[in-house]
């Protein structure tokens, strides 16, 4: 039984001068049979035959191009070989995929069997600085790694402290999420830092120096700081890798930057997440990897602290720009163009500062940029959407209960770009909008009228 299909405009890949065509994993032949009624003039019949041990049958046909002259010496057995070749090729492809996957699984199991667990085993206490959404999410995650571990959150808000200790939840940010029993909170810095093995720093960048100055006397010189904060200090242009040791007056204070595409809410819901830890000390980076990695959280390591921190700071500014495009309803084309340009600007500056370009294309760069620019949970993107919709910055910030780091970082980014002589049109436009010196509409007009240049 044969099925005749009318030709389509996209079917011209088969030449009328060819009697066969092959494209892995399938092979087909042009065959010529007597059809009743005969095919329309200017058509070729493409048949794929199915063969069993008893008979040969047509699986499908398609009319494509004008037929070549009939072959006089066509062997009947060649028709049956078509489906055999298709089946054989498919089985080969499936085998290759299966073998590749099995190798990956074996490699993974081998490494997991050799993975060290000594860091987690000997960690008895982790202090978390700050009671915001991300600090709370990471406190919950770390506490879940080991029930015997004490996770103590140092907060300034007495209500958050009471909510965590009495109701086992952060009533301000996650009222519907129960925290592990081993998460506690305090406003007493001395008690929080006492006997701590690691410190997770989750205080917003602009408030970090003053926070650390108040607790510096209780910090042990060898206590590793894992920074969760992203941004640049407005007046000094400092990154967290500079703020923490300088404020604590200890240039050797162990430091690790944690970054990557990660919304606090999804961490609280135990959804799969991947992040990266950066430290000049490879041993310390591996230790933090052991501490944090779990079934739901993958942790990669790198020594490129500058790249991770700069990408984490600048992506917040770019997210505001993406939000503005959304708020102005400029469409998908402009959104893609803007984010691509912003990625280039981040790469230009970070590499000038000594970062690796591979870092910018990794989790802490492209990964975090995509999440922050395209997803509505992003605080910075939300600021941009509302700016593009016509709201004032003061009204926007006054209605938010969380910090949008990109607002404060924008000015610092441009100062840093001038320092390293890097042109950053998109991020500069965001800074001008935030300073109320440029409207979103005017910014779009100016950016679209920049000189046409070679892409770099």
User: Which tens digit of pLDDT belongs to each residue from 204-231?
Assistant: 999 999 999 999 999 999 999 999 999 9
DSSP 251-268: TT--EEEEESS--HHHHH
pLDDT tens for 29-69 read: 444 444 444 444 444 444 444 444 444 444 444 444 455 55
Q: Stretch 322-338: mean pLDDT, rounded?
A: 96
| pTM (global) more than 0.85 | no
Distance CA 366, CA 343 (A): 7
189-213 per-residue burial string, b: 16 or more CB within 10 A, e: under 16 = beebbeebbbbbbbbbbbebbebbe
159/132 Cα distance (integer angstroms): 13
Phi, psi (degrees; rounded to nearest 5) at 152: -110, 120
Q: What is the pLDDT of residue 77?
A: 62
Answer yes or no: are the C-beta atoms of 267 and 295 closer than 8 Å.
no
pLDDT at 86: 75
Mean pLDDT calculated for residue range 320-347: 96
Burial of 451 per CB tally in 10 Å (0-12, 13-18, 19+)? exposed
Q: pLDDT: is 81 or 326 the higher one?
A: 326
Mean pLDDT (whole number) for 275-286:
97
Closest C-alpha to 136, from 114, 157, 107, 106: 157
What pLDDT shows up at residue 69?
54
Is the pLDDT confidence value at 267 over 60? yes
Catalytic residue from among 95, 230, 315, 356: 315
Q: Is 315 a catalytic site residue?
A: yes
> For 117-131, what is the mean pLDDT?
94
Segment among 91-95, 370-374, 431-435 with least mean pLDDT = 91-95
Q: Which comes out higher in pLDDT, residue 77 or 449?
A: 449
- The closest of 333, 405, 393 to 368, measured between CA atoms, is 405
Number of residues assigned to the chain: 456
pLDDT tens, 375-393? 999 999 999 999 999 999 9
Is residue 411 over pLDDT 80? yes
Provide φ and ψ at 128, rounded to 5°.
-115, 120
CA-based nearest residue to 429, from 321, 292, 343: 321
Q: Say how far apart CA 21 and CA 223 lie, in whole Å.
A: 67
Taking Cα atoms as reference points, which of 184, 185, 189, 240 lies closest to residue 219? 189
Average pLDDT over residues 92-105: 88
271's CB contacts (< 8 A; 6+ apart) are 296
């Amino acid at each position: 039984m044969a099925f005749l299909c009318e030709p389509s405009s996209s079917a011209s890949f088969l030449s009328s001068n060819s009697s066969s065509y092959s494209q892995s994993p399938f092979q087909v032949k042009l065959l010529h049979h007597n059809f009743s009624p005969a095919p329309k003039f200017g058509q070729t019949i493409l048949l794929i035959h199915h063969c069993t041990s008893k008979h040969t049958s047509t699986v499908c046909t398609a009319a494509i191009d004008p037929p070549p002259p009939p072959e006089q010496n066509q062997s009947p057995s060649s028709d049956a070989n078509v489906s055999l070749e298709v089946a054989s090729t498919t089985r080969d492809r499936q085998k290759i995929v299966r073998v590749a996957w099995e190798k990956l699984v074996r490699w993974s199991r081998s490494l997991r069997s050799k993975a060290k667990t000594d860091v987690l085993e000997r960690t008895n206490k982790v202090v978390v600085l700050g009671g915001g959404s991300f600090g709370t999410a990471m406190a919950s995650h770390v506490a879940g790694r080991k029930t015997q571990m004490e996770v103590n959150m140092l907060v300034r808000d007495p209500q958050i402290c009471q909510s965590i200790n009495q109701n086992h939840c952060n009533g301000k940010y996650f009222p519907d999420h129960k925290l592990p029993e081993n998460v506690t909170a305090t406003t007493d810095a001395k008690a929080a830092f006492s006997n701590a093995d690691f410190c997770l720093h989750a205080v917003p960048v602009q408030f970090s120096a003053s926070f650390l100055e108040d607790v510096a006397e209780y910090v042990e010189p060898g206590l590793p700081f894992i920074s969760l904060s992203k941004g640049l200090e407005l007046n000094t242009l400092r990154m967290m890798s500079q703020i923490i040791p300088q404020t604590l007056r200890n240039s050797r204070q162990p430091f690790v930057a944690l970054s990557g595409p990660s919304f606090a809410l999804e961490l609280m819901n135990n959804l799969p997440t991947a992040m990266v830890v950066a430290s000049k000390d490879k041993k310390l980076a591996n230790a933090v990897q052991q501490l944090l990695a779990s079934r739901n959280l993958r942790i990669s390591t790198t020594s490129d602290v500058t790249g991770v921190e700069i990408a984490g700071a600048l992506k917040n500014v770019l997210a505001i720009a993406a939000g503005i495009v959304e708020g102005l309803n400029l469409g998908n084309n402009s959104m893609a163009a803007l984010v691509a340009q912003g990625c280039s600007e981040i790469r230009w500056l970070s590499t000038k500062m000594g970062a690796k370009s591979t870092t910018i294309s990794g989790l802490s760069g492209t990964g975090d940029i995509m999440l922050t620019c395209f997803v509505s949970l992003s605080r910075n993107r939300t600021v941009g959407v509302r700016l593009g919709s016509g709201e004032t910055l003061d009204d926007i910030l006054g209605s938010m209960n969380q910090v949008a780091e990109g607002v404060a970082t924008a000015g610092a980014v441009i100062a840093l770009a001038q320092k390293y002589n890097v042109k950053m049109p998109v991020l500069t436009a965001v800074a001008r909008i935030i300073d109320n010196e440029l409207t979103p509409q005017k910014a779009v007009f100016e950016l679209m009228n920049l000189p046409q240049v070679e892409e770099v």
